[in-house]
Amino acid sequence: MRVVVAGGSGLIGRKLIEELLRAQHEVVVLSRKPENVRKIFPAVRAEFWDAKSFDGLTSVLDGADAIINLIGESIGAKRWTRTQKRRILSSRIVSTQAIVAAIKQTQRKPSVLLNASAVGYYGNAPEGELTEANPRGTGFLADVCARWETEALKVREFDMRVVMLRSGVVLDKNGGVLQKLLIPFRFFVGGPMGTGKQWFPWIHLQDEVNVILFAMENEQIAGPLNLSAPESVRMLEFCRELGKILHRPSWMRVPGFVLKCVLGEMAQPLLLHSQKIIPQKLVDAGFKFQFPKLEDALRNLLS
């Protein structure tokens, strides 16, 4: 298959490109710095794209079998000022709109668009389980995800399949939330955030990528897709397991008000909100998680 990846320089994108190449797919990466992509992955075709306009994008997408769009300003990189919130939203909306506009101009439409999203779509849900059938929640992230998905769904006008990848917290020791949590634990001051009772939806990086490839190749999967391990854990359990594997205590609880003072508005949806995510569609489709249990996932990443 010829697969076009937009946003291949991040944690998920790099691992995804590795797996696509391993599976002998023809990979085209859209990047603001294609020369950097070529240094890391000499076997890929890297094309410049500013993630805004669709000029020149049509010829790249024409005849592709699949498009995987992972572009979006990091939600945890900076405090959520008004300016940063605009960047978070516009980076997702504008890039997806450009991809849809370019697809419209192609002679041979791709078969599927796999567009990133997040479990933030569901908002805060202290009680109950969340499958793909649940409605959107409230709050900034829920609004961002809903508007992002709305743009991606427009490709259905071209009889294309579209999958919205609603990812939980992707675990890898080289980036993301886990990398940040490792620091206090290594200094013996690790512990849960807030009350610790909130559900913490997680997925191993390898499974995240495996799910994307599975969804790309499985024509029966369409619409929203929860990317989260089948074992649900609370923040308290997650930190306790992390401490056990690192041979460190998990006692230093960080109160919610402290997180709000330090991180501002983003503390709640990123660390304090509760979401018991169920990957119902993946279970129904027979997907086999490589790391369904938290202990196995953490031992693999931290061994």
What average pLDDT does range 91-108 have in this prediction? 97
Mean pLDDT of the chain: 94
Output the pLDDT for position 252: 86
Output the pLDDT for position 136: 96
| Stronger pLDDT, 37 or 176, i.e. the higher one | 37
Could you read off the pLDDT of 113-151 as tens digits, one per residue?
Answer: 999 999 999 999 998 999 999 999 999 999 999 999 999
What average pLDDT does range 29-48 have in this prediction? 95
**CA neighbours closer than 13 Å in the CB half-sphere of residue 295:** 3
Give CA separation, 123 vs 77, 86, 176, 192, 260, in Å: 20, 19, 20, 20, 17
Output the pLDDT for position 266: 72
Whether residue 238 contacts residue 246, with contact meaning beta carbons closer than 8 Å, is answered with: no
Could you read off the pLDDT of 210-265 as tens digits, one per residue?
Answer: 999 999 999 999 999 999 999 999 999 999 999 999 999 998 888 776 767 766 77
Task: Give me the amino acid identity at 90.
Answer: S
Q: Collapse the DSSP code of 242 into the 3-class scheme (helix H, G, I; strand E, B; otherwise coil) and give the result.
A: helix
Output the pLDDT for position 267: 73
pLDDT at position 91 over 80: yes
Output the pLDDT for position 244: 95
Question: Percent of the chain, pLDDT > 90?
Answer: 80
Output the pLDDT for position 257: 65
Evaluated on CA atoms 77, 83, 89, 95, the torsion sign reads: negative
Could you read off the pLDDT of 147-184 as tens digits, one per residue?
Answer: 999 999 999 999 999 999 999 999 998 888 888 888 88
What average pLDDT does range 21-43 have in this prediction? 96
CATH number of this structure's domain 2-170+203-228+276-290, picked from the four choices 3.40.50.1000, 1.10.150.130, 3.40.1390.10, 3.40.50.720: 3.40.50.720
Question: Percent of the chain, pLDDT > 70?
Answer: 99
Q: What predicted TM-score, i.e. pTM, was given to this entire model? A: 0.95
pLDDT at position 56 over 90: no
Output the pLDDT for position 73: 92
Output the pLDDT for position 262: 64
Confidence category of residue 186, pLDDT binned at 50, 70, 90: confident
Output the pLDDT for position 70: 97
The torsion angle over the Cα atoms of residues 18, 24, 29 and 35, rounded to 10 degrees, is: 70
Ranges of each domain in the chain: 2-170+203-228+276-290
